[in-house]
């Protein structure tokens, strides 16, 4: 019985700690469109998970751990943040037509990174601009790389 109470207390403690962390959900627009979720992990560092269409022809999902490098006090209200971090990306390109008109669809696995600047207003709105470079391997395609700039709008809660 003591083990059950201990396990229940630990689960409740983890749930309370996870719900106390700031989160943000929204979208990003750049060379495609993505849904974005941020979860603060430690201090101001956060994990960002995105899923969407890159170049409007490839499905892509990524998870990136971002380190908050600086939070300059440029304004009296709101918060600025400069961040960067590593991550992974997986996806599928369904439209890859060559010069002969053949479609070469492929799946890819990539190392990803992110560097960006965000502004969180004094009300629950967050704007961001970031670059997400990816270097990876596309199965039946070979190595590939790209750098995707995007503008993000998120609701912070």
Whichever domain contains 150, its CATH number is 2.40.160.20
User: Residue 124: which domain range?
Assistant: 22-156
Q: How far is C-alpha 8 from the geometric centre of its chain's CA atoms?
A: 32
Task: Answer yes or no: is 16 within a domain.
Answer: no
Task: Answer yes or no: is 7 within a domain.
Answer: no
Task: Answer yes or no: is 35 within a domain.
Answer: yes
pTM equals: 0.80
Domain total in the chain: 1
Task: Answer yes or no: is 45 within a domain.
Answer: yes
Least confident among 21-30, 49-58, 96-105, 141-150: 96-105
Give the Å distances, CA to CA, from 118 to 70, 71, 78, 136, 152. 11, 9, 11, 27, 9
Contact between 125 and 153 (Cβ < 8 Å): yes
- Token pair listed for 129: 């601009």
Q: Find where tokens 């751990």 sit.
A: 65
What is the rounded distance in angstroms from the CA atom of residue 47 to the CA atom of residue 28? 15
Task: Answer yes or no: is 128 within a domain.
Answer: yes
Task: Answer yes or no: is 5 within a domain.
Answer: no
- Token pair listed for 86: 């590593």
Per-residue pLDDT averaged across 69-83, rounded? 92
């Amino acid at each position: 019985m003591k083990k059950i109470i201990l396990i229940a207390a630990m689960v409740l403690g983890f749930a309370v700690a996870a719900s106390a962390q700031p989160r943000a959900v929204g979208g990003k627009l750049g060379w495609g469109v993505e849904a974005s979720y941020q979860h603060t992990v430690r201090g101001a560092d956060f994990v960002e998970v995105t899923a969407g269409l890159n170049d409007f022809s490839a499905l892509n999902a990524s998870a990136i751990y971002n380190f908050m490098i600086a939070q300059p006090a440029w304004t009296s209200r709101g918060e600025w943040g400069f961040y960067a971090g590593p991550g992974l990306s997986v996806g599928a390109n369904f439209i890859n037509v060559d010069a002969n008109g053949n479609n070469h669809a492929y799946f890819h696995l990539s190392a990803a990174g992110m560097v960006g600047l965000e502004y969180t207003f004094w009300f629950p709105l967050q704007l961001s601009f970031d670059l997400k470079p990816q270097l990876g391997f596309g199965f039946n395609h070979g190595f590939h790389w790209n750098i995707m700039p995007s503008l993000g709008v998120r609701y912070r809660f």
